[in-house]
Structure 1
Amino acid sequence: MGIIAATKTQPKDLQPLPDRPTASDLKQPLIFDGHNDLLLKVQRAGGLSALSDYMEGGPGHLDLPKAKAGGFGGGFFAIYVPSASNADVDDLEVRDPPYDLPLPDAIGWEDAMTVAMSQFAVLLRLEEQGGLKIARTAREIPEIMAQCKVAAIAHMEGAEAIDPDFETLEVLYAAGLRSLGPVWSRPTIYGHGVPFRFPSDGDIGPGLTDHGVRLVRRCDEMGVMIDLSHLNEAGFWDVARHSTKPLVATHSNAHALSASARNLTDKQLDAIAETDGMVGLNFATAFLREDGRMDADTPLDTMLRHLDHLMSRLGEDRVGFGSDFDGAMVPAEIGDVSGLPALRKAMMDHGYDAALLEKLCHRNWVRVLEASWGH
């Protein structure tokens, strides 16, 4: 949730593009994305009774018809517990920087569990209805996409629904959970996040708690990826010290280009590169723009500058996308998932060749997930 074996033949849908793709190829390569908030959207629209909006098409950024139109191959589907106020971020303030928004209060485990179970049920029911397929191993992702299905990773954004004995973590892992962020900005028993503040960096407050260190170690043992997005800088370095896995931020941008507390400094990017980790580019305009404004009138060149900077620090094998669809205002030239061909065209026009497009669109995510999960 944001502001808002090499010798084998590759599956047909994942064949490399020609060196210079044409307009007819703009739905390829399929994009596997680091973050969306579809489950929250469906829950707010009625939960299990509102599944038709995804299956048949409805409001918002992401549904099955839009996914097919845009060449969306899947991604991380976030389970996110909103605050009771329903106002985690004041959109009006973010439109006119500078801003420093107070974070909502922490949420108790019992309240969080109710919401998390409801959203996980939506994900499971969508799989049952054929709208997507949950990937529990990295190798399943290209297999699912090659079948023209949406590959979904069950991700938890903020660990409020995880009890300190990790019993719920065990159950959720059995159901398919494979990625977890210890916080969504507001504090949890596991750590502290960054507020929505511009201009600022993430060096704000304490990092992981003792419970948080235990959580990181247990997730490493189980094969649950830890997501660094939303953690403050102290928490980032705590994960770096205690995790043996690649460092991954599913939906974060370059602080050097947009001085938001949510973005990563070059020092953090260098640390991610040292672990052979990954960053997914967030499409949220407030985290893209130099002026920090949330404004749909944001050119795609802004996204390309972030991609170039991320690759200059991380290398081309450690960058992908983390759109924040259904959780943020994205550039109008993309609009929603069906607008992803515009992003591919912009990358092609910018000089990215076919091999680089494939890495950015999905292959880098598959690589880092296999390293993180061990399968």
Structure 2
Amino acid sequence: MTQRVFDGHNDVLCRIWLNSRQGGSPVEDFAGNGRTGHVDAVRSKAGGLVGGICAIYVPSPRLGRPVSDANGYYNTPKAEPLEHGPALAATQEMLDIARDLDEAGVWSICRSTADIKAAAEQGLFAAIVHIEGCEGIGAGLEELDGFYEQGLRSLGPVWSRDNVFAHGVPFAFPMSPDTGEGLTGAGFDLVRRCDELGILVDLAHITEKGFWDVAKTSSRPLVASHSNAHALTPVARNLTDGQLQAIRETSGVVGVNFATSMLRADGQNNSNTPLSDIVRHVDYLVEKTGIDCVGLGSDFDGALIPREIGDAAGLPKLVSALRGAGYDDEELEKLCFGNWMRVLDSVLSN
């Protein structure tokens, strides 16, 4: 029997939105007729992917090129902040696509773990709507409640660029996540309002100072939806042992990212990355946080992933690798599904 998987982070909504701007049909795309990217209904069912946290991410119009040296070390300049108006328009367009997929019956927008389980029983992809980088929300939080009414249940205050809420970490290797300032005054307000509404706050792209700002402000479990161990791969996006300890102490969760640059010891983008590198990070994270605080956060449709996985249909290969590393059925259920359900239930059942 295929192990069911709930994915802590993917960019399928952004991919579908970009394709729609070129004339593609969002419903046909997710239904599996487009065969682009990593995630659609057909490949999800084949791989046991019952659902995931689906990011609304507004791409930067210009991204800097990594500056590297002979050792393979690199630093990528952070993208310029986005203007609020265009970001708001793009965010709403992706929310509309999420609704259209729901109304077409190819996935289900879920607002609770009960919704996730009901969607899975119906054979529908269970989508938790997430905003990755809150440029579409103004500093006064005017749009937040409206997005919540449309199904938003998770957000990351910042992507790897700065905005009115927080500062993001650059894509750099080797580098500490302690790269700058944390939450702004508006950012503290955002975290407090998310706690009130029951919106998960994701720490995946924020600076280390921002991480600790959220930790001292939020009463919710600390969550990094798609991050790995800095001790194994010292990119700025990965988590230090101190951050992992805080996640453990709040009974939070860290989702293991499949991006090869966040898995490999050399920090490089290389699809010939073995599944043993994912297992290595899972092992380390379990050692530091315990078996109850680790999940999967693939970054499907947003990153270069190991060729051996390929796309959502390849998830059983990873499950097999984890089983071969000694994880039993109960532990695999926690890593692949149960730990996300526990944390989501504690946040969304506001």
How far the C-alpha of 1:217 sits from its partner, in A, is 0.4
Partner residue, 1:5: none
Kindly provide the CA deviation profile for residues 46-88 of structure 1, in whole angstroms up to 9, marking residues without a partner as x: 2584221221332111111111111111101100011112xx3
- In 2 relative to 1, CA 82–96 (structure 1 residues): closer, same or farther, beyond 3 Å? farther
Partner residue, 1:135: 110
How far the C-alpha of 1:371 sits from its partner, in A, is 1.1
For 1:84 and 1:150, how far apart are their aligned partners in 2? 30
Partner secondary structure for residue 292 of structure 2: coil
Partner residue, 2:8: 34
Pair 1:78 & 2:55 matched: yes
Pair 1:251 & 2:231 matched: no
Pair 1:53 & 2:29 matched: yes
Counting only pairs closer than 5 Å after superposition, residues 343-358 of structure 1 correspond to structure 2 as: 343-358=318-333
For 2:65 and 2:46, how far apart are their aligned partners in 1? 32
In the alignment, residue 145 of structure 2 is paired with which amino acid? E
Kindly provide the CA deviation profile for residues 4-29 of structure 1, in whole angstroms up to 9, marking residues without a partner as x: xxxxxxxxxxxxxxxxxxxxx2x22x
Structure 2 unaligned spans of 5+: none
Partner secondary structure for residue 191 of structure 2: helix
Give the TM-score, by structure 1 length.
0.90
Partner secondary structure for residue 167 of structure 1: coil
Counting only pairs closer than 5 Å after superposition, residues 327-366 of structure 1 correspond to structure 2 as: 327-366=302-341
Kindly provide the CA deviation profile for residues 222-266 of structure 1, in whole angstroms up to 9, marking residues without a partner as x: 101100000000000000011111000000000011000000000
For 2:67 and 2:320, how far apart are their aligned partners in 1? 32
Partner residue, 1:288: 263
Partner residue, 1:370: 345
In the alignment, residue 240 of structure 2 is paired with which amino acid? T
In the alignment, residue 258 of structure 1 is paired with which amino acid? T
Partner secondary structure for residue 98 of structure 2: helix
How far the C-alpha of 1:373 sits from its partner, in A, is 2.1
Partner residue, 1:22: none
How far the C-alpha of 1:95 sits from its partner, in A, is 12
- In 2 relative to 1, CA 131–69 (structure 1 residues): closer, same or farther, beyond 3 Å? same
In the alignment, residue 339 of structure 1 is paired with which amino acid? G
Kindly provide the CA deviation profile for residues 203-222 of structure 1, in whole angstroms up to 9, marking residues without a partner as x: 01110001100110011001
How far the C-alpha of 1:147 sits from its partner, in A, is 2.1
- Contact (CA 8 Å) 1:94, 1:293: kept in 2 or not? no
Partner secondary structure for residue 255 of structure 2: strand
For 1:56 and 1:318, how far apart are their aligned partners in 2? 32
- Contact (CA 8 Å) 2:66, 2:76: kept in 1 or not? no
For 2:64 and 2:156, how far apart are their aligned partners in 1? 19
In the alignment, residue 25 of structure 2 is paired with which amino acid? A
Structure 1 residue ranges, 4+ long, deviating more than 6 angstroms after superposition: 91-96
Structure 1 unaligned spans of 5+: 1-24
In the alignment, residue 70 of structure 1 is paired with which amino acid? G
Partner residue, 1:239: 214
In the alignment, residue 10 of structure 2 is paired with which amino acid? N
For 1:89 and 1:198, how far apart are their aligned partners in 2? 15
Aligned residues, how many? 347
Kindly provide the CA deviation profile for residues 103-162 of structure 1, in whole angstroms up to 9, marking residues without a partner as x: 111011101011101111111111111111011012221222122211000000001011
For 2:184 and 2:237, how far apart are their aligned partners in 1? 20
How far the C-alpha of 1:350 sits from its partner, in A, is 1.2
In the alignment, residue 34 of structure 1 is paired with which amino acid? G
Partner secondary structure for residue 143 of structure 2: helix
For 1:203 and 1:267, how far apart are their aligned partners in 2? 12
Percent of aligned positions that are identical: 47
- In 2 relative to 1, CA 33–162 (structure 1 residues): closer, same or farther, beyond 3 Å? same
- Contact (CA 8 Å) 2:67, 2:75: kept in 1 or not? no
Partner residue, 1:100: 75
Counting only pairs closer than 5 Å after superposition, residues 1-375 of structure 1 correspond to structure 2 as: 25=1, 27-28=2-3, 30-47=4-21, 49-51=24-26, 52-57=28-33, 58-85=35-62, 88=63, 90=65, 97-374=72-349
More moved, 45-54 vs 31-40: 45-54
For 2:67 and 2:127, how far apart are their aligned partners in 1? 32
Partner residue, 1:18: none
Partner secondary structure for residue 219 of structure 2: coil
Partner secondary structure for residue 326 of structure 2: coil
Partner secondary structure for residue 102 of structure 1: coil
For 1:354 and 1:243, how far apart are their aligned partners in 2? 33
Kindly provide the CA deviation profile for residues 280-309 of structure 1, in whole angstroms up to 9, marking residues without a partner as x: 000000000011011011111110110011
Partner secondary structure for residue 357 of structure 1: helix
How far the C-alpha of 1:165 sits from its partner, in A, is 2.1
Partner secondary structure for residue 45 of structure 1: helix
More RCO (CA 8 Å, sep 6+): 1
How far the C-alpha of 1:351 sits from its partner, in A, is 1.2
Partner secondary structure for residue 183 of structure 1: coil
Structural RMSD (CA): 1.7
For 2:165 and 2:50, how far apart are their aligned partners in 1? 32
